[in-house]
Amino acid sequence: MPTAARVEMSYTQRGALDDLLYRREPAWWELLAEDPLLFVARRAFAACQPNPPPEADDLQCSSPPRARVVCISDTHNHHSLLPPLPPGDILIHAGDLTMSGTEEEIDSALAWLDAAPHAHKIVIAGNHDTALASEQRDAILQRYPSLTYLEDSSITLEVQGRLLSVYGNPRSPKHGSGVFQYQYDAYHWERRLPPYTDILVTHGPPKTHLDWKLVGCQHLLKSVWLTRPRLHVCGHIHVGRGVRYLTWSRPQKWYELACQTNAGRWSRLINTVLVVGAALGAKIVGRPKFLGGEGTILVNAASAGGARDNLRQGPIVVNVPLPER
């Protein structure tokens, strides 16, 4: 289909797969027309978001001490066009380093990360990274000893004398062809996530949060409710790029229930009204403070806008409170 014709297609005609490939954000009236309850719930929940933690000029002296984490994902062979990576304690790439997943493309992306000066560099694969799902994976990774590749596995890092547990998983719900994908109800995240995880790295986002058209994984969301990591880094849904502060509160649960498009309309309406009430309360008494030890910083760090989009954005940097241990 010609590009011009595709641009003229309405938002409702585009499928979930297009969110992986195109970064045209629909106008507010398109969203309102498609699902008024979802539109209102999203706006209200955004108003409930807690104030982000203060940025400390000297992280060594902040209380509690924080790790500076540089998050990036979905660079899709465009890494050489990005600005230099900012400094930090930990560098995380949440998958889709490549477009076609050839060994040559993987080598180029991993060499770029290998050259970064960060003390800890964590990498997972994405659905485009075919060579990392092949027999050549181990041989490829051996060429880049400074990188830690996680695939259904964990590592413990030491930052500022404190220990952080990091778990990485490259899998995402199946949309089209690709590697590391699963049928929606065939993957049990609750059996995968370690009960104590400080930093969770997944290629796909949890459902309702930074996944735009609700194409994130509901089972991942349920499991993250149990694990509640300090930081969750993902990508995959390019248009969902951003940062969200999850407090695991009643307004968050109301919002997630309001987004369940397969639920009854009355259930969604009641939960939407509850989220709106929480937003009004936050407007009157002020937004809550984000307590990093109790909440989760969720980052969708997608860099590329898509296969036909020239938009390429750099990493997202967050300061993550360190555990006492």
Output the pLDDT for position 29: 76
Q: What is the mean pLDDT of the chain?
A: 87
Output the pLDDT for position 4: 32
201-230 b/e (C-beta count within 10 Å ≥ 16 → b): bbbbbbbbbbbbbbbbbbbbbebbeebebb
Grade residue 64 by pLDDT with cuts at 50, 70 and 90. Answer: confident
| Domain 41-48+64-321 part of CATH 3.60.21.10 | yes
Sheet with 316-321: strands ordered across: 148-149, 120-123, 90-93, 66-72, 316-321
Q: Which two tokens stand for residue 20?
A: 């992986």
* Residues forming a β-bridge with 169: 202
- 28/34 Cα distance (integer angstroms): 10
Grade residue 113 by pLDDT with cuts at 50, 70 and 90. Answer: very high
Q: Which two tokens stand for residue 93?
A: 């790439």
Output the pLDDT for position 242: 93
Q: What is the pLDDT averaged over residues 37-45? A: 94
Tokens 């407007």, residue? 283
pLDDT above 50: residue 117:
yes
Chain segment 282-321, per-residue pLDDT in tens? 999 888 888 767 899 999 999 986 444 456 789 999 999 9
Residue 145 CB coordination number (10 Å): 8
Chain segment 4-28, per-residue pLDDT in tens? 333 333 333 344 444 445 555 667 6
- Segments in 151-234 forming alpha helices (H): 218-227
Output the pLDDT for position 218: 94
SS3 of residue 153 by DSSP: strand
Whole-Å CA distances, 223 to 111, 188, 213, 241, 261: 33, 9, 20, 21, 20
Chain segment 121-156, per-residue pLDDT in tens? 999 999 999 999 999 999 999 999 999 999 999 999
- At 184, give phi and psi (nearest 5°): -50, -45
Q: Which of 191-205, 235-249, 303-317 has the lowest mean pLDDT?
A: 303-317
Q: Which of 25-39, 129-143, 235-249, 277-291 has the lowest mean pLDDT?
A: 25-39
- Using alpha carbons, select from 240, 177, 237 the residue that is nearest to residue 203: 237
